[in-house]
Chains A and B, each alone.
Chain A
Amino acid sequence: MTNPSAIFIIVPCFNEARVIRDTINVLLERGYNVIVVDDSSADNTREKLKGLPVHYIRHEVNLGQGAALQTGLAFALEKGAGWIVTFDADGQHDVNDIPRMMEVMEKNGAGIVFGSRFIEGGSANLTSSRKIILRTARLINYFASGILLTDANNGLRLITREAALKMQITENRSTHSAQIQDLIRRNQIVFAECPVHISYTDYSRSKGIRNIASIRILYELILFKIFR
């Protein structure tokens, strides 16, 4: 098994002070390196993390989740990360999925492994409206990037150092998921999918992207296609 200390986990967050410490503690228990990218939260996120062995980076202005991920990627590479994981701050991901993703990566010789709640073995307690939107989103991301994933908007990904070096996320907001797919196609990075468990709580539901926001994301995606 891979030594967890070679794995850097990027946790982008924006106003997640209520849950951030719990999310991070679980990761630290497993011996992972953690990079918290605080996208200019207005709450006391930094206070909540005090004393924990985590790298804390703060954007002075709110730039969006894509920008926070790119900041984390750049920092992790600078720190010599062998593998990089992207992990949502709201506690929806399961830390036990990371070693499973490692296995999938080794088995497939992949440069990037996407978490999926929709392939066999994966799970999520989703509302039916959200399910419809995610199914549509995966098709839209396919048209935008040329790669079809079963779960295009999953925040859990595992990336090798080599693949991360080839990626430069410039889509600052929610369209970064489509851009990551676009980047792996352009750079011919081998990818695989791994079933993961998503547990939505009332908290993460209240914090997550609202269904209606998908319309704005679609608009930004069209602009991304035109102006890339």
Chain B
Amino acid sequence: MSPIQIILISGVVFITLYLYQRLRSNLIDAILIFLFCGGAVFFIVFPDATTAIAQRVGVKRGVNLVFYVTILFLFFLILKLYSRIRKLEKKFTELVRDKSVEKAEFLEKK
């Protein structure tokens, strides 16, 4: 096993354990998290497996396939996060607005 494999595997295991202890909400979540972890470790230990899949979809090297999929996934994530931010901003604005209107004052002394 090469050093990079050890680094990657310990990283994946660390993230998995961290996720698990933070959001061990139900069994399905836990199973999913560990499945992802298992998959990641598998492809790290047997990197040639990705190449086999890659060649089936017309990509030469497994690394390239992983790279393409990752870009897509990250882009999707950015869009999701951004729309979440917009929703939050909208709620926040409404809160600030309601409060400010509630506290509106007429400055001339009666």
Contacts and interface: CB of A to CB of B under 8 A. Distances in A.
Contacts of B86: 227
Contacts of B75: none
Contact of A52 (B82, B93, B96, B108): B108
Nearest to B105: A56
Contact of B107 (A51, A61, A223, A227): A51
B96 A60 contact: yes
A216 interface: no
Interface residues of A, number: 26
- The DSSP consensus for interface residues of chain B is helix
Interface residues of B, number: 18
A210 interface: no
Contact of B97 (A55, A70, A223): A70
B74 interface: no
Interface string B92-108: 01001101110111111
19 contacts: A50-B107, A51-B107, A52-B108, A53-B106, A54-B107, A55-B105, A55-B107, A56-B104, A56-B107, A57-B100, A57-B103, A57-B104, A58-B100, A60-B100, A61-B96, A71-B97, A71-B100, A75-B101, A78-B101
Interface in A40-81: 46, 49-61, 63, 67, 70-71, 74-75, 78
A67 B106 contact: no
Interface of B: 82-83, 86, 89-90, 93, 96-97, 99-101, 103-109
A172 interface: yes
B82 A55 contact: no
Interface string A122-156: 00000000000000000000000000000000000
Contacts of A60: 96, 99-100
